[in-house]
């Protein structure tokens, strides 16, 4: 953040995107693995949000609208709304990111800093290769896959028109709302999906 301010004079947008997944059943996850993914996905996001807020709250407001002092964005996941078998601890970290965003958005919006969360499903990155090296299982992801460039274009639109949440896969938010309303059905679908896409 200091380097950005030194170079550009202000920080208008901060995106917390670093994160990784580990495939393991909850009762088989080791404490060291748990701590490492929590440090990266949750504390990493928290550190970035704190550093951005410190800068943005001090800088001059520009223009009008919700993000006149800055826009903080955390890349969560569809898993932030629904725990998934074999990805339970990963989903927990994504739910934690969402909770941080929801609280911080209300805290900072009156001062002109807006906070959004982004919820992709499967994105074509090195995510699953990294997860496979850290796990005893290999996975191909869950749900429709999008390129990183496609998700990035949607994030650019989010920056231009801030809103609380971005769901890059159309209708995925509604599917997860259905899952919350009918958890038994969601459990059945999730078990079949994970089973068919994990080896």
Q: What does the DSSP 8-state code read for residue 119?
A: -
First to last CA, the chain: 41
The strands making up 113-118's β-sheet, listed across from edge to edge, are 13-16, 70-75, 113-118, 165-166
Using only C-alpha atoms, what is the Rg of the chain?
18
Backbone angles phi, psi at 58, to 5 degrees: -90, -15
**Please, what sign has the CA dihedral across residues 122, 24, 22, 129?**
negative
Asked about 20 being catalytic, the answer comes back as no
DSSP-based three-state secondary structure for 16: strand
Helix/strand/coil for 42: helix
d(CA 16, CA 40): 11
Report the C-alpha gap between 113 and 153 in whole angstroms.
22
Task: Tell me the HSE value of 31 on the side-chain side, using a 13 A CA sphere.
Answer: 0
User: Looking at 20, 47, 87, 90, which residue is catalytic?
Assistant: 90
Catalytic residue set = 90
């Amino acid at each position: 953040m200091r380097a950005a301010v030194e170079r550009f004079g202000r920080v208008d947008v901060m995106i917390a995107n670093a994160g990784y997944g580990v495939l393991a059943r909850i009762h088989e996850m080791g404490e060291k693995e748990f701590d490492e993914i929590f440090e990266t996905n949750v504390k990493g996001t928290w550190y970035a949000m704190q550093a951005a807020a410190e800068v943005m709250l001090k800088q001059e407001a520009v223009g009008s609208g919700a993000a006149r002092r800055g826009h903080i964005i955390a890349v969560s996941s569809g898993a932030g709304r629904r725990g998934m078998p074999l990805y339970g601890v990963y989903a927990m970290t994504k739910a934690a990111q969402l909770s941080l965003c929801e609280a911080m958005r209300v805290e900072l919006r009156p001062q002109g800093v807006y906070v959004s969360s982004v919820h992709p499903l499967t994105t074509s990155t090195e995510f699953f290769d990294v997860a496979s090296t850290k796990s005893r299982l290999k996975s191909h992801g869950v749900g429709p896959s999008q390129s990183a460039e496609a998700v990035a274009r949607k994030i650019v639109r989010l920056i231009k028109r801030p809103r609380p949440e971005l769901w890059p896969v159309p209708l995925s938010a509604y599917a997860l709302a259905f899952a919350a309303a009918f958890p038994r059905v969601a459990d059945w679908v999730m078990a079949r999906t994970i089973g068919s896409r994990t080896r």
